[in-house]
Amino acid sequence: MKLGFVTYQIGKDWDVPAIIDMCGRTGFTGVELRTTHAHGVEASLSADERSEVRRLFEDGGVDLVGLGTAFEYHSADPDEVRANVDGTVEYARLAADLGCPGVKVRPNGLQTEAGIPEEATLEQIGKAVGECAEAAAGLGVQIRVEVHGKDTQEPRRMRAIMDHADHPNAYICWNSNFGEVQDGSIEANYRLLAHKIGLVHITEIYRAEYPWRELFRLLQADGYGGYTLAEIAHSPEPERLMGYYKALWEAYRA
């Protein structure tokens, strides 16, 4: 397994050279760029600008692991769902131009308060994911569905979404949510999604109520060799924080 980070909080104010420099100084080898942040890596980039971003990462020896978007498909408005699907495909094209292997998307809610059955929304989300996965497959880019949302993050619901997506290019981004721990273990919930895990987000690794060692053991037993990406809060001493984080990560995976 490899260690990187997400620019969702820490790194949100860094440009691409600063991100690459921090990775070099801390031993993090990859990054997921959360869209709309200071790095400026967006679908609006020209062909030349895309080539330059790709060159910066390649020359810097840092993996551009993914683009972290907020596209979601649970709306009761079909036009809104269509706009999110089209946006996902647009960012998959950007990822392909950058040599980036995946785009993260998310479920973000149900519509039961509007009288729409849970299963109908899960199916709607899954079908949209499947459409995105099919389009992105032709570009060599994975669609990674984050275990996310107050209601949708439950692993059994995520499993339903992935079953409805029914596409080999649709993957799970395991999100290390504390609510999936049952009697000190995540194994039962992990097993619901293990066959589709393509990326892993990890969070506050100092919090012992999440069984980090078990997560890493399960991933290693399943042959996972991809990235675990730290999604952590900003710090006034980011280099120091990331150094401590890497040390704990190394200890837990040993």
Domain assignment present for 192: yes
Average pLDDT, the chain: 98
Domain assignment present for 189: yes
Q: What is the pLDDT of residue 72?
A: 98
Domain assignment present for 160: yes
Q: What is the pLDDT of residue 151?
A: 96
Q: What is the pLDDT of residue 106?
A: 98
Domain assignment present for 16: no
pLDDT-flagged residues of the chain (< 50): none
Domain assignment present for 5: no
Q: Which DSSP string corresponds to the chain?
A: -EEEEETTSTTTT--HHHHHHHHHHHT--EEEEETTSTT---TT--HHHHHHHHHHHHHHT-EEEEEE-------S-HHHHHHHHHHHHHHHHHHHHHT--EEEE------GGGT--HHHHHHHHHHHHHHHHHHHHTTT-EEEEE--STTTTSHHHHHHHHHHH--TTEEEEE---GGG-BTTB-HHHHHHHGGGEEEEEE--TT-TTS-HHHHHHHHHHTT--SEEEE-----SSHHHHHHHHHHHHHHHH-
* Interval 214-225: pLDDT, tens: 999 999 999 999
Tell me the CATH number at 131. 3.20.20.150
Q: What is the pLDDT of residue 11?
A: 95
Domain assignment present for 178: yes
Residue 217 structural domain: 24-59+71-232
Q: What is the pLDDT of residue 133?
A: 99
Q: Domain tally for the chain? A: 1
* Interval 100-118: pLDDT, tens: 999 999 999 999 999 999 9
Domain assignment present for 154: yes
Domain assignment present for 200: yes
Q: What is the pLDDT of residue 77?
A: 97
